Amino acid sequence: MPISTQIDKIDAYDKVLGKAKYASDFYMEGMLVGALLRSTRPHAHIKRIDVSKAYSLEGVVRIIQAKDIPGENSFGIIRKDQPLLCDKKVRFIGDPILIVLAVTEKVAKEALRLIEVEYEDIEPILTPSDSERSPILIHESGNLLTHKKVIKGNVEKGFSESDIIVENTYITTWLDHAYIETESGFGYMDGNGRIVIYSSTQNVHYKRKEISRILALPEEKIRVVQATTGGGFGGKLDMTIEGYVALSVYLTGKPILIRYSREESFLVSTKRHPLYIHYTTGAKKNGTLCAVKVSIIGDTGPYASYGETVCLRAAIHATGPYEVENVYVDSKMFYTNNPISGAMRGFGVPQIAFAHETQMDILAESLNLDPLYIRMKNGLKRGSKTATSQILEESVGYLETLERIKPFWLERKKGKDRGFGLGSMFYGMGNTGITNPSWAELKLSSDGKVVLYTGVCDIGQGSDTVLAQIVCETLGIDVSKIEIVRADTDYTKDAGSTSASRQTYISGKAAYEAALKLRSFLEREGFYSGKKLKDIFEKYKDMGMPVFDGFFDPPTTKLDPETSSGKPYATYAFATHMTEVAVDSSTGYVKVLKVHAAHDVGKAINIQNVKGQIYGGIAMGIGFALMEEFVPGKTKSFNTYYIPTSLDMPEVDVFIVESEEPTGPFGAKGVGEPALIPSAASIANAIYDATGVRIFELPCDMEKLKLLLERKRERG
């Protein structure tokens, strides 16, 4: 049965009416504005910095350098390898060197032009292969960030038993998150001498921990609050402006605003990891997969960010939603002097899905089998064993996503320069093989409402709405009776990051557990017999209103360090897209006409939200497949970085599959990243169906496809 509480996104009206307050909207009397001086060299020693001319500019108040940092000059979500301010060495164009604080943003930026930095250049390392071979070290620990393997069975034995072997190389490039709101933050010192930060972020508790280290202050002296956030997609998980704002407040005692221009955001924001994927698949004549061997080489840029996570997650998902007896995946991530690569919607799985879904189509054609048939024959189901040897026991709706697509696939009508393609995926919900818990708290308020305290950051995906629905559905109350206190380290417990498609599943379950406790209390107090919430509050206000807490940590296991065998995720989402495209063979222009999208979400808490995520994922997938490419040194604005617009959107039919997850709230799993993952693969396969040209490198923009089509015509 569907969730009976279906509501509009609860922040929609404030955003539409312009009432929502973003970080750059904050202002206080006496506020200073900060701007960062950044490296113009990809790899160099800093020999000298001269700020005297900048200090002579009227309106400049303070220039902050690394020597002014009272605590540790480093940060990083997994490895603390990134300096807040560089003092000895820079590792990419855009590395921050100092902060200028001035009375206006214009003065601060003018001052940057007056600062002189003398560099001693070091040879830059610009490819992972150079990084592996070069004697030059980007970090003293070496140029290899991490190396992960996934091993199951005997891959060489599997290939010896195969009737066909397909081997190809796939390449993806950097992508920018391209969120509408750039990185912004505001901070001040409160009346008790505590530093308060409002920022555009995906994780307030992590940011507080990092600020605490940098300033050498106890966490109790720091408060971080999420301002309304205009998109994230993973790009606001890392520290962006929070450390600079906090340090500036600490050193001046003044209110501080720092915000990036679009050009600065393009220069320094983390990007999707470029991956080089060499993929070999072995199969029987009947289509049964026998062996998969994959080599993944990634470019994480000069700092780790989420490179280790992407390296491992891409490897775990390298076989796609298919059961393969023999698997060998070798995944490496290297440091380079390119832009920093970090978390971006899917953590490496969109790239690997492009590879494994192309492989499946090539196999099907080589064996004269239907692409849908070969997917159904090998698809994961209850009792299947994944590449990490995890046995899937519940909530495995992959085959049902294929069944939902099947009627449209069988009825498709081929036309000139028109093609159809399939793309499937599976995706582990939550962090990989580690604990990633969440807490929630519920209280009654004096005005007769239920207040939900949650550390979850809503970045536009709708977690406020979903969490409110879960509580309302459990308690049997109207949404008008609930208030949310969200993502404020003073009032909410750590709910983990808004990433890895984890919040509906994990934080939703924590909210559900808290609501069950509150429901039991309300039953004893007579609420369901007619007593009002306000009266119940009045009864307890003098003796202390009880707090009802909820907690959930998905049941996972640590992975074997040699083979990665284990249970990296408690549950997986599954999806299949069927995409129809039209190709202008003379220009290489591709128009995505229609997408049938079937997603196993466990349970759709908010149907409107689920569909919205899928629409957005398809749009992002079109960009990934056909147009988006960040080119270091060249991409500086949306003038040269092309993202899909409303005119690029196809007709979309969404099919929600609800293979309920027993550990999720009402059976929910989530859909945030899965919405994107099959999209580019299905587009690439559709292009081949239309043109006979196989795509091995993304994006396949007009120019690239036109050249491929011309070469095909020349070959006859």
Q: Is the pTM of this model over 0.75?
A: yes
Question: Would you say residue 114 has pLDDT above 60?
Answer: yes
SS3 state of residue 5:
coil
Largest CA distance in the chain: 87
What confidence score (pLDDT) does residue 419 get?
A: 98
| Mean pLDDT (whole number) for 142-154 | 98
Closest CA to 281 of 359, 392, 341: 359
Please report where in the chains the tokens 């015509």 appear, as a residue: 713
Each residue of 170-190: pLDDT tens digit?
999 999 999 999 999 999 999
Q: What is the β-pairing status of strands 89-90 and 44-50?
A: antiparallel
Q: Please write the tens of the pLDDT for every residue from 303-327.
A: 999 999 999 999 999 999 999 999 9
pLDDT computed for residue 199 by the predictor:
98
pLDDT of 488 > 70? The answer is yes
- The tens digit of pLDDT for each residue in 550-573 reads 999 999 999 999 999 999 999 999
User: Is residue 151 over pLDDT 90?
Assistant: yes
What is the end-to-end Cα distance of the chain in Å, rounded?
A: 56
Q: What tokens were used for 508?
A: 């939703």
**pLDDT per position as a tens digit, 382-410:** 999 999 999 999 999 999 999 999 999 99
For the residues 86-90, what does the mean pLDDT come to?
Answer: 97
User: What pLDDT score was predicted for residue 3?
Assistant: 85
Q: How far is it, in rounded angstroms, from Cα 358 to Cα 694?
A: 9
Nearest alpha-carbon partner for 342 in 135, 202, 132, 199: 202
What is the CB neighbour count within 10 angstroms for residue 140?
A: 6
Above 80 in pLDDT, residue 621?
A: yes
| Strand runs labelled E in 39-183 | 44-50, 60-64, 89-90, 96-102, 116-121, 144-152, 164-171
Please, which pLDDT band fits residue 5 given cuts at 50, 70 and 90? confident
What pLDDT shows up at residue 463? 97
Mind listing the domains of the chain with CATH numbers?
23-123+178-268 (3.90.1170.50), 275-381+390-432+562-715 (3.30.365.10), 437-552 (3.30.365.10)
CA distances from 58 to 52, 112, 115 (A): 12, 13, 15
The residues facing 697 across adjacent strands are: 171
Average pLDDT, whole number, for the chain? 97
Q: How far is CA 668 from CA 194, 299, 503, 603, 671, in A?
A: 39, 34, 10, 4, 9
Q: Under a CB-based contact definition with an 8 Å cutoff, are residues 245 and 23 in contact?
A: no
Helices 398-410/371-378 angle, 10° precision: 160
In order of 96, 180, 264, 569, 597, the CA distances from 233 in angstroms are 23, 11, 18, 21, 21
Contact 605, 3 (CB under 8 A): yes
Predicted pLDDT of residue 2? 66
The answer to whether the CB of 472 falls within 8 A of the CB of 478 is: yes
Classify the C-alpha dihedral 127-129-134-136 as positive or negative.
positive
* pLDDT at residue number 652: 98
**pLDDT value, residue 543:** 87
Question: For 463-481, how does the pLDDT look when each residue is reduced to its tens digit (9 = 90+)?
Answer: 999 999 999 999 999 999 9
Cβ count within 10 A of residue 192: 7
- The alpha-helical segments, DSSP class H, found in 151-283 are 155-160, 204-215, 242-252, 262-268
What does the pLDDT look like over 214-223, one tens digit per residue?
A: 999 999 999 9
pLDDT grade for 712, boundaries at 50, 70 and 90: very high
- State the pLDDT at residue 1: 55
